[in-house]
Every structure is written in structure tokens, then in C-alpha cells.
């Protein structure tokens, strides 16, 4: 039998995966890893867009041959004014390459932004992600729900450090969402 790769799960993303502003030790990846007693490699890079994630995909994910790869991003693309079609195309290319390499993509639905103008754009991308996941029979991780007050239908301020990056409470909510899907996906 071939040796097991060191990581069954890799998280590819931006600062929300990295754990900004606290660092990797307080990221949702770390919380989920501890809870599941499963090493998850945190490949989050602050400020990354999907184009940059695509550029580092081979070294950061494909070469390591995990079973699963959680892909989360989009906010930096929106903030930088990247054309929505290009955001979708870069994201689709990432999932396509993962599938070609027999790695199951898990699509992270990005948390809401407190800035309503940028959130409107991110919401459109989130809707596209859901339809992309459905069309390709891919699982999603709802990182959006833990940040929303169900009654008020508004973001919960206590879940944020700065309106974009999660607080410790926000990262713990993200971890819970990831754990639920990872438990199913890993059997």
C-alpha cells in the first residue's frame, strides 16, 4: 500500500483561512484540526485573490496529494475590483484542477462583509458558488451563516475584528461549519 500523504485535508485561501490578525494558531483551520484530531494544512495567504491561489495551487496543494481541499476566498477579488467573470473563471479553474488530480474540492461560502457595498458584490459571488457547487455535485461549507443574526438578518458585530476579518468567536463559528462538512466528507 502506498504511504498516506501527510495531510488528508488542505485549506487553500486568503487571510480568512490564514487566521488574520491572530495568526494560524487561532484560525478556523487550527480549531477544526484540533477538534477533529486531524492535521489540516493551512495554506491561507493574506491578501490573496483566486488568481494568486491558482498560481500557487500546484506547490501548495496538488503536489501534496490530499483527499480534500477546502477553497475559500473572493473578498480580496471584490475589493480589488476584479471582473466577476474572471473571479468565477479563476475559481472554476481551481476546482477543475483539483478534480483532475483526484482531490475533492470543498467550496467555502465566504462570510459576509459588514460593508454593504462590497457585501452586495460578494453576495452575487456566493450565489454563483452555490450554483457552481450544485452543477458539479460539490459540497459547500457555509462560512456565511455563523456570522448572521438569524432574527435581524444582519452580521453579528462580535464575530468581527474589523468588519472583514473574524474575531476569535467568528473563527470558532467557521471551524464548527467546517467540522460538520469534514466529518461527512471524511466518512
- pLDDT tens for 14-69 read 999 999 999 999 999 999 999 999 999 999 999 999 999 999 999 999 999 999 99
**Element housing 11 (H / E):** strand 9-13
Is the pLDDT score of 2 beyond 80?
A: no
Q: Could you tell me which of 108, 113, 136 has the C-alpha nearest to residue 123?
A: 113
Residues with Cβ within 8 Å of 20's Cβ and at least 6 positions away in sequence, in order, are 46, 165
Domain ranges of the chain: 9-185
Summarised one tens digit per residue, pLDDT across range 135-154 is: 999 999 999 999 999 899 89
Alpha-carbon Rg for the chain, nearest whole angstrom, is: 15
> Higher pLDDT residue, 76 or 163?
76
Determine phi and psi for 71, rounding to 5 degrees: -115, 120
Are the C-beta atoms of residues 13 and 20 closer than 8 Å to each other? Answer: no
Summarised one tens digit per residue, pLDDT across range 87-113 is: 999 999 999 999 999 999 999 999 999
pLDDT the model gives residue 3:
54
pLDDT the model gives residue 187:
85
SS3 44: strand
Determine phi and psi for 173, rounding to 5 degrees: -65, -40
DSSP state of 162: S
Residues with Cβ within 8 Å of 109's Cβ and at least 6 positions away in sequence, in order, are 126, 129, 130, 140, 141, 142, 143, 144
Give the strand pairing for 154-155 and 139-142: unpaired
Q: Class for domain 9-185, per CATH? A: alpha beta
Amino acid at each position: 500500500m502506498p504511504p498516506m500523504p501527510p495531510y488528508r485535508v488542505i485549506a487553500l485561501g486568503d487571510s480568512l483561512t490564514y487566521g488574520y490578525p491572530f495568526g494560524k494558531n487561532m484560525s478556523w483551520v487550527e480549531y477544526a484540526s484540533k477538534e477533529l484530531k486531524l492535521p489540516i494544512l493551512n495554506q491561507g495567504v493574506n491578501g490573496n485573490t483566486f488568481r494568486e491561489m491558482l498560481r500557487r495551487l500546484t506547490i501548495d496543494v496538488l503536489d501534496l496529494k490530499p483527499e480534500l481541499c477546502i477553497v475559500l476566498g473572493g473578498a480580496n477579488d471584490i475589493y480589488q475590483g476584479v471582473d466577476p467573470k474572471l473571479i468565477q473563471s479563476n475559481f472554476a479553474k481551481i476546482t477543475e484542477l483539483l478534480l483532475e488530480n483526484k482531490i475533492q474540492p470543498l467550496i467555502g461560502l465566504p462570510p459576509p462583509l459588514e460593508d454593504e457595498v462590497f457585501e452586495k458584490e460578494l453576495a452575487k459571488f456566493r450565489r454563483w458558488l452555490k450554483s457552481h457547487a450544485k452543477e458539479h455535485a460539490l459540497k459547500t461549507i457555509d462560512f456565511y451563516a455563523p456570522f448572521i443574526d438569524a432574527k435581524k438578518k444582519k452580521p453579528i458585530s462580535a464575530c468581527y475584528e474589523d468588519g472583514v476579518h473574524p474575531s476569535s468567536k467568528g473563527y470558532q463559528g467557521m471551524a464548527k461549519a467546517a467540522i460538520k462538512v469534514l466529518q461527512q466528507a471524511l466518512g
